[in-house]
A and B are shown apart, each in its own frame.
Chain A
Amino acid sequence: MRLLLAEDDPDLSRQLKSFLEDAGYAVDASLNGEDAHFLGETESYDAIILDLGLPVMDGISILKKWRGAGIDTPVLILTARDSWSEKVAGLDAGADDYVPKPFQIEEILARIRALIRRAAGQSSSELSIKGLILNSASSKVTVNGVPIKLTAQEYKLLSYMMHHPNKVISRTELTEHIYDQDFDRDSNTIEVFVTRIRKKIGIDIIKTIRGLGYQLDAE
Chain B
Amino acid sequence: MRLVTISVIWTALALVLGGYLLSLVFRDTLEQNFDERLNSLLENLIGISSDDTSTNVNLSRPMVDPRFEQPYSGWYWQIAPKGFSPVRSRSLWDVSLDVNFDQSVNRTRYRLTSGPEEQQLRLVERDVTLPGNDLIYRFAVAIDTSEIDEQADRFDKILLVGLGALGAGLVAASLLQVFLGLKPLGHIKESLSKVRNGEEEYLPKDFPSEIQPLADELNALLDHNNEIVERSRTQVGNLAHALKTPIAVLRNEARMNDGPMSETVAKQTENMHKYVEHYLKRARMAANVKTISSHSQIMPSIHNIARALNKVHPEKSIVVKTEFEEKGLVFKGDLNDFEEMVGNIMENAAKWARKNITVECYKDGQNIRIEIRDDGPGIDIKAREAVFARGGRLDEKIPGTGLGLSIVKDLTDLYGGKIILDENKKSDTGSGLLVTLFLPSV
Contacts and interface: CB of A to CB of B under 8 A. Distances in A.
B241 A81 contact: yes
Contacts of B314: 118
B252 A84 contact: no
A92 B249 contact: no
A82 B255 CA distance: 23
Contacts of B251: 102, 104
A123 B315 contact: yes
Contacts of B253: 11, 15
B336 A15 contact: no
A96 interface: yes
Contact of B312 (A11, A12, A98, A103): A98
Contact of A84 (B311, B312, B340): B340
B273 A102 contact: yes
A106 interface: yes
A87 interface: yes
A119 B245 CA distance: 29
Contacts of B315: 123
Interface stretch (B129-137, B302-310, B372-380): B302-310
A138 interface: no
Given A85-B339, A88-B305, A106-B399, A19 B248 contact: no
Contact of A12 (B237, B248, B399): B248
B355 to A, nearest CB: 12
Interface residues of A, number: 33
Interface in B222-243: 237, 240-241
A80 B273 CA distance: 13
A96 B308 CA distance: 9
A11 B304 contact: no
A53 B251 CA distance: 20
**Binding site of B, secondary structure by majority: helix, strand, loop or mixed?**
helix
A53 B241 contact: yes
A63 to B, nearest CB: 12
B308 A101 contact: no
B239 to A, nearest CB: 11
B149 to A, nearest CB: 93
Given A12-B248, A81-B237, A88-B304, A96 B312 contact: yes
A8 to B, nearest CB: 9
Contact of B256 (A19, A81, A100, A107): A19
B301 interface: yes
A105 B255 contact: yes
Contact of A107 (B241, B304, B311, B399): B399
A15 B304 contact: no
B87 to A, nearest CB: 120
Contact of A101 (B248, B340, B343): B248
Contacts of B252: 12, 15-16, 19, 104-105
A82 B241 CA distance: 9
Interface in B241-276: 241, 244-245, 247-249, 251-253, 255-256, 273
Given A83-B339, A104-B399, 16 more contacts: A12-B252, A19-B256, A80-B241, A80-B244, A84-B301, A84-B308, A84-B336, A84-B339, A88-B308, A91-B308, A91-B312, A96-B312, A101-B248, A102-B245, A102-B251, A103-B399
29 contacts: A9-B245, A15-B252, A16-B252, A18-B256, A19-B252, A80-B241, A81-B237, A81-B240, A81-B241, A82-B240, A84-B308, A84-B336, A85-B336, A85-B339, A87-B308, A88-B305, A88-B307, A91-B308, A91-B311, A91-B312, A95-B311, A96-B311, A96-B312, A103-B248, A104-B252, A104-B399, A107-B399, A118-B314, A123-B315
